[in-house]
Amino acid sequence: MTKTQEIPKWFNGEVYDKGATVYNPFTGHPYELSNVELSIYDFIIGAQSLFEMGFQDKKVLDDFEKALKWFRTHNAEAYMVLLD
């Protein structure tokens, strides 16, 4: 099954050509993501890493919150498996 999803206007990160299977680092549960989902997922994980290192940037925080909301709206199941 191939999903066609539009890239959100606010997203200015790299958009991958292909999706991939991602594994929850705590549970090991896999989830197949589309290219857009994978791009946004990687942004979320990267932003979390920056925040954990003490990086503070309002634009990154705003985009991070938009990314989480986007995931909850566009693929709630993947959100629950990978990010909740």
Residue 12 lies inside a defined structural domain of this protein: no
Give the chain's radius of gyration (CA, Å): 13
Domain that holds residue 35: 20-82
Residue 11 located in a structural domain: no
pLDDT (0 to 100) of residue 5: 85
Give dist(CA 2, CA 14) in Å, integer. Answer: 20
CB atoms < 10 A from the CB of 69, how many? 12
Phi-psi sector, 28: left (phi>0), alpha (psi -120 to 50), beta: left
pLDDT value of residue 3:
56
- Entry pTM: 0.91
Position 37 in a domain: yes
User: Which amino acid is it at 73?
Assistant: T
Structural domain count, the chain: 1
Q: What three-state secondary structure class fits 25?
A: coil
Q: Is residue 2 part of a domain?
A: no
Tens-level pLDDT at each residue, the chain (84 residues)? 455 789 999 999 999 999 999 999 999 999 999 999 999 999 999 999 999 999 999 999 999 999 999 999 999 999 999 998
Q: Give the CA count within 13 Å in the CB-facing half-sphere of 21.
A: 4
